[in-house]
Each structure stands twice: as structure tokens, then as C-alpha cells.
Amino acid sequence: MFKKGFLWLGILLSFTCLGQSENRCPIIPRPAHLETREGRFVLSNTTIVRIPAANPELRTLAENFIRQVNTASGLTLGIQSANESGAAESVLTFRSVGDTGLGAEGYRMDVTTRTITIEAAQPAGFFYAIQSLYQLLPPEIFSSTRVSTAVNWSVPACRIEDQPRYSYRGLHLDVARHFFPVSFIKKYIDLLALHKFNTFHWHLTDDQGWRIEIKKYPKLTQVGSQRQETLIGHYYESDPQQFDGKPYGGFYTQEEVREVVRYAQSRYVTVIPEIEMPGHALAALAAYPEYGCSDGPYETATKWGIFTDVFCPYEKTFTFLQDILSEVMDLFPGPYIHIGGDECPKVAWKRSPYCQQLIKKLKLKNENQLQSYFTARIDKFITSKGRKMIGWDEIMDGNAPPIQVSPSATVMSWRGVEGGIRAARLGHDVIMTPENFVYLDHYQGDRAQEPLAFGRLTPLEETYSYNPTPAELPDRVQKHMMGIQANVWTEYLKTPGQVEYMVWPRAAAVAEIAWTPATQKSWPDFTQRLPDLFRRLDYLQTTYSRAYYAVRIESMPQSDGHVQLALFTNEKAAEIRYTTDGSEPGSQSVRYDRPLRLDKPTSLKAVTVKNGQVIGAVQRWNVAVSKATGKTIRLATPTMKPRDADPAILIDGQYGTTVGYLQEMQGVAGVKTADLNATIDLTEPQSIQTVTIGLVRATAGSILLPRAVEVAVSDDGQAFRTVKTVSMNPTERGKQAIIRQTLTFEPVRGRYVRIIARNVGKVPAGMPKAGQSAWIVADEITVD
């Protein structure tokens, strides 16, 4: 993927234009202080780059910049030491300064029509200045071949004084669930560094795979890096679960790890390895079962989730883990070692006579404190080697005298923000990484139309809105907030392109949170810089999501039986084009200018267009229109999924979806144990002969089809006569779906229509969660 001799940006690329820049200085993350001026600095064959004498590190940075400019533009910029004489029409000067106020990563950049002057106290500051300079140049600067079209190779005149808000700015990648080659890891680091992240968190081990070579324990990769097969789809998507039947594996040799670490260092990125313990250990136990609480056998996990088999706190287990960590510390010279510590069930420990005896011996209260003992032992070992331990916020659970992790342990707060605030109040450094804001494996657009992802929805704007350090926290707590990290878990991300799609542009939002002062953040300004970001990513051959530009709809059913549909897009300067004939919309399709009035079932497709170009993915909806649309509906039992939902969602014209977490299903309504009993008032007697109801089948989540569906009609809403009953099979299993059940009968007249889906009550024997209360969940109801 990378060509020898190209600097880190040199990747073979293609160009996709999203229109002209809307921001004169479209840098992401936004600098702390930015002042624009009139005019532009124009690069030419006479431009000279001047660097301090006897500074090889800065010379390398300057030469890399020159090489990229020359490659993309065909220009021949020269380089001089500051003590060399000679005049030039335009000069880019790098100047080392002793200004401690800039810190290790800060810089100043002054751009006039004839000069660019960059000042920094440390090499990292120069590196980040160059990243800003790249982003001030046209996006074509990222081409790995000479650009054939006419380009204005210039930089807008401006003055920047910049340094980061947080010292820790991290991006994570899980390679245990799915493995990615070194070439992609390098590209991931390239993009990370371009956006001024300074930490790469490498999640190397988990239940589904052990990905790092350990010389002393070769079976970790011989056995633990392999799994027999992989789950297809979401965890609860199919009943029974479906697997691909294909062996899966991969790991990094120690030399490959060193190569990645060196590569990251040259981009001022620290690599933090994560070796999971005491939970998420199945891959390791499959290789070395003697370190589990039972005799095994264990098997590298083939599906996702949390497993009860964890490391047992034998003395030999600590020796095993310390040996592993010793090799890991030899490979990773950075200050931090991540030990996981999350999602460790205590089932095996409760059953283990050894663990129960150890709890008594140590005078611990429970198994939670046993985990604290485990973590404290590992923490003490890591600290003795001159390193610092990082763990997920569970390392604070059960953490109380006399068993405590050291004050130097750093906490990553992922289960919301409360754990991080608590840890900071106790004096621990904290990295904020709350899943509801910065887990980039979540869906980022309409889940029914996005690629497979983790269940929740976290759109770009929600990520951007996060503030890791609330102003109301006292200074003594704020000083422990080291920074922020975004996490990318790869259960559902098999390829580099899928990872990139989930990461960008949300990682750019995280970069701005991490670097830019809170007072300088601006969502409208950030969105104006997105077109330039996307053009850069095009040149960097990076897949990204355009979900921000997607068209959204709002259904407004009317009492006269038609549906009004309002269409929206985030991009205010764009227009929406749509079709209703089944064809794909484009820049020449009908332009949306007012809510659409639909009086029959319609297939609607829409897309966002700007400057004559399509900038978002096509969005698709099937709209239901029937005699029930917009009428009044009443449920005999209030909905519990989602709780107290408006029953009108069952006749609003929009079909629901079960994509994502079952508790977050959209456009559906469910009841537990009881029948789903819906009565629709058609406002006047009408002839009807067909009723269709959508019914959710998600048996892994106790959502069953009803045992029967009945339709009854009434003239007065009191006396109902049944016109049709159909039996259904609540034990029917399969892939999670919405089953549309149609009941057809001889035409009858009535004002009120009652639809009853009869609940089986309890989940039958032989099914998942047998004996638990069964749910009935319904989707759109139509009456014709």
C-alpha cells in the first residue's frame, strides 16, 4: 500500500470534488488562535525552506514536507540551513524558540504573501505545525503523483498560535475480533497523526484472538490467535446463531510490532498495548488452560460478548502474566501499559475453592475485591518496571483499603462519565472515553440504511458535542483529566474500509475535542470544514461516511388519510432531490421544496445535492398509506418497548426497524406477557377487507410471534364482531425480522377496527430464555 521513498502521506489516490472550500483556513482540529489576513503565500520553484543548523530531526521533517510538495505539485522547493546566505522570493522558515509557554506540542505560524515562519520549542510542535500547513494547502497536496490539473499551490495569509487542550489524545483499534495487516495499521497512524492525535491504543488480545507474539509462550499465537469460525451478524440477530464455518486467525510478530512502534514514533505517536486481564481471556486459556479456574478445555471464542472463563489468581498465573508483560514492555517503550480489567464475571471465582480460600486468607469482602487484589498485583509489577498502568474504569470497582491500585494508575472511563469523575476525585489521572459519545463502532446514521455496526446510534453531532471536562468540576479534579480517546471495536468490522467508514469523520470531531479550547469549538464552523476534510480523505484513499449529509424524513399523517412527508438534511446550503417511481435519484431529479403529500403506498428515495453534485448516500423508505393512516388508535395495554410510546407510531405511515439493540427498535410498540390489543377509529363506517400488521420475531430476545391474530369490527366501539382469525407459530425461530401478517376476508363495514395479537405468555420450552415472559412487538398496521 505504501511506496518506498514516499513520506507518510504518500498513498496512491483518486480525486473526488465536493465543491469549493467553505472555510478559508479549513484546519481540523481548529487551532487555539487563528487570525486570517488578506493575500496568499504562493509556492514556486524559487521557494526556499530554511531550517536551523545542526538539527537533524527538524531537517527530516522539513525534507518530508518538501518531498510531498514536490511530488504532488511538480515544484522543486529547495532547502537551506539558517546560516546559509542567499535571497529568495518566498521563504518558509522553521525557527526553534525557547518559549516554554508553547509546551512540547505547541507552535506558532505566521503566513504573509512572501514568508511563512514556523516557531516551536520542540520537534513535536514543528510536526503539528506541518500538519496544519498541509491542511492550509489545497487537498491535492496529498496526492502521491503529480497532479495534472491546474492547482493554486498557495497558503492563505494568517497567523496561528496553537497548542493542545489535552496532553492525551487517543484513537483505539481492536485487532482481536478482526485482524488488520501492518500496512493498514501504518495508514491508521498516518491519519491519526494528521489530525494531531498523539496516542494509538492497540487492543491486542481478547476472547476471540491473541494477536501478539510472545516468545516464552508460543502457543498464545499458535493456538490463541486462531478461532474455528465467526458469528454472522449481530449477537441476537439469528436464533439459533449462525456462523460462517471459516477458520480465522492472524498475529503480529515481535519484529512487526517494533516496526509499527518505530513508525508511530516518527509521527510523534505513542503506542499503548493492551493485554486483557483477568477477563476477556479465552484465547489465552485455549492455549494455556492451566491458568483458568477449571481444567477446561477452553476454546477461542467464535462469537462476541462476555465469557465467564477468566484468569484464576494462582501464583503461577501472575508469573505467566508478568512474563508476558515483560516481553510486551521490551517492545513498547512508552510510559503506559493497558491491562484491560473490564467485564470480568465472577462466576468461575465463586465456584473455585482456591479463590474462596484466597478471599478468606486476604480478608477480602467479596470477589470484586479479589479483582482489586489481582489488579493491584499487576499494577505493582508494572510500576516496578518504571511504567504506568492503565485500565478500564472497572479497575476501580471493589478498590478499597487494604487492596488498592497505586495512585499512578490511570483510569479509562468508558461506562459513561461518572467513573472517570470518581477516579479523578480520588486522585487518579483519567482518560475520558464514554461509549455514548466516542465509541466509533456505533451506527452514525439511519440504522436501517447503514452498514452493519454495533447497536447504538452516535451521530457526528453527538460526538462533537462532548466535553471531557465539565466546567463545574473543581480545579483539583480537572487537573486529573488527561484527555480523551475514541474507541473502535471490530466485532462487525472485517476490512480496513469498514473500519475507516466508521472512524471518519467522527474521529475528526474527537480530534477537535482533544485539541481545540472548548471556547473555540463551533459546530457550524466544523461542518463548513467537512468538504475539505472529505477531499483530503479522497486523496488519501480513505473510505469515510457521508451520513452527515443524509436525507432524513418526518412522517406527518393527516386525519383525512394521507401522509405528509417532510425531508431534511444537515447541510443548509444543499438541496434535496427525490423520486417516487422506484428510480435512483440524482442531481437532475425532482427538487424537494415543500412537504410531500402521499395518498397511496409509495417507495420514496432521496439524496442530498450541492453545487450540482450528489454528496450523500441515497436514502430509501417505503411509506404506508391506508384507511387507518392518521386516525386515532388506542392500546388496551400501554407499551413497554419502548415504554409509554405513542401508539400512533403504528399508523403513522413509517415502517419500523429492528436493526441495532432490541431496546432501541424504532417505529414499533411492544407489550410484555399481555396481548397486544389495538383499536383504530376510522371516524366513520367504511368497507374493509384487508388488515396487515407487522410483527417482530426476535426469539433470542424473547420477542415471539403471537399464537394468533384476530380482527374484529364495530359500529359503536363497544360491540365487536370477529371477522378473521389466523393462527401463528410463536415457536418459529430464525433471523430477526418483522413479519407482515395479512388477514383478508369478505368486505365488511365498520367504524372501529380491533386487531389483537394473542401472546403465548411464557417462552416455550426448547427456546432461548424458556419460561421467561414473552413479548409481542408490533409494527405498522394498515387497513384497506
Q: What is the CATH number of the domain that holds 59?
A: 3.30.379.10
- What single letter denotes the amino acid at residue 199? T
Q: How confident is the model at residue 85 (pLDDT cuts 50, 70, 90)?
A: low
Q: What is the pLDDT of residues 658-687, one digit of tens each?
A: 887 776 777 888 899 999 999 999 999 999
Task: Residue 209: give its domain's CATH number.
Answer: 3.20.20.80
Percent of the chain scoring above 70 in pLDDT? 96
Grid coordinates belonging to 406:
497505586
CA distance linking residue 698 with residue 738, whole number of Å: 9
Range of the domain at 206: 168-275+306-339+384-394+411-515
Can you tell me which residue has the cell 501478539? 212
22 pLDDT higher than 70: no
Least confident of 481-495, 519-533, 537-551, 648-662: 648-662
**Beta-bridge partner residues of 639:** none
- What single letter denotes the amino acid at residue 144? S
- Of 472, 499, 515, the residue at which a domain comes to its end is 515
- Determine the 3-state secondary structure of 77 from DSSP: coil
CA distance linking residue 438 with residue 400, whole number of Å: 29
Question: Is residue 288 a part of any domain in this protein?
Answer: no
Same domain, 555 and 491: no
Same domain, 185 and 220: yes
Give the mean model confidence (pLDDT) for residues 628-647. 89
**Beta-bridge partner residues of 669:** 778
Same domain, 130 and 204: no
Same domain, 507 and 565: no
Same domain, 55 and 148: yes
Listed residue (370, 424, 377) closest to 399, CA to CA:
370
Q: Which pairing describes strands 388-392 and 410-413: parallel, antiparallel, or unpaired? A: parallel
Task: Residue 587: give its domain's CATH number.
Answer: 2.60.40
Q: How confident is the model at residue 86 (pLDDT cuts 50, 70, 90)?
A: low
18 pLDDT higher than 70: no
pLDDT of residue 82: 80
Give the mean model confidence (pLDDT) for residues 587-593. 97
- Of 162, 185, 207, the residue at which a domain comes to its end is 162
Question: Is residue 107 a part of any domain in this protein?
Answer: yes
CA distance linking residue 318 with residue 383, whole number of Å: 15
Question: Is residue 241 a part of any domain in this protein?
Answer: yes
Task: Residue 754: give its domain's CATH number.
Answer: 2.60.120.260
Question: Is residue 344 a part of any domain in this protein?
Answer: no
The runs of H, that is alpha helices, within 483-623 are: 496-503, 506-515, 523-539
Grid coordinates belonging to 324:
508476558
Task: Give how many domains the chain has, as a whole number.
Answer: 4
Q: What is the pLDDT of residues 232-288, one digit of tens each?
A: 999 889 999 999 999 999 999 999 999 999 999 999 999 999 999 999 999 999 999
3-state class percentages of the chain: helix first, strand second, coil last, to nearest 5? 25, 30, 45
Same domain, 59 and 117: yes
CA distance linking residue 207 with residue 223, whole number of Å: 12
Question: Is residue 202 a part of any domain in this protein?
Answer: yes
CA distance linking residue 217 with residue 254, whole number of Å: 13
- Of 623, 642, 672, the residue at which a domain comes to its end is 623
- Determine the 3-state secondary structure of 127 from DSSP: helix
Same domain, 109 and 189: no
Give the mean model confidence (pLDDT) for residues 536-546. 98
Distances (CA, A) of 3 to 62, 144, 181, 183, 185: 19, 9, 16, 11, 15
Catalytic one of 63, 229, 327, 343: 343
Grid coordinates belonging to 2:
505504501
Question: Is residue 640 a part of any domain in this protein?
Answer: yes
Q: What is the pLDDT of residues 99-110, one digit of tens each?
A: 889 999 999 999
Same domain, 643 and 778: yes
Same domain, 121 and 229: no
Question: Is residue 38 a part of any domain in this protein?
Answer: yes
Same domain, 154 and 239: no
Q: How confident is the model at residue 3 (pLDDT cuts 50, 70, 90)?
A: very low
Question: Is residue 14 a part of any domain in this protein?
Answer: no
578 with 585: CB under 8 angstroms?
A: yes
Same domain, 331 and 439: yes
Q: Where does residue 721 rank: exposed (0-12), middle (13-18), buried (19+ CB within 10 A)?
A: exposed
261 with 331: CB under 8 angstroms?
A: yes
426 with 420: CB under 8 angstroms?
A: no
Same domain, 111 and 228: no
391 with 339: CB under 8 angstroms?
A: yes
pLDDT of residue 472: 83
- Is 343 among the residues known to form the active site? yes
pLDDT of residue 397: 87
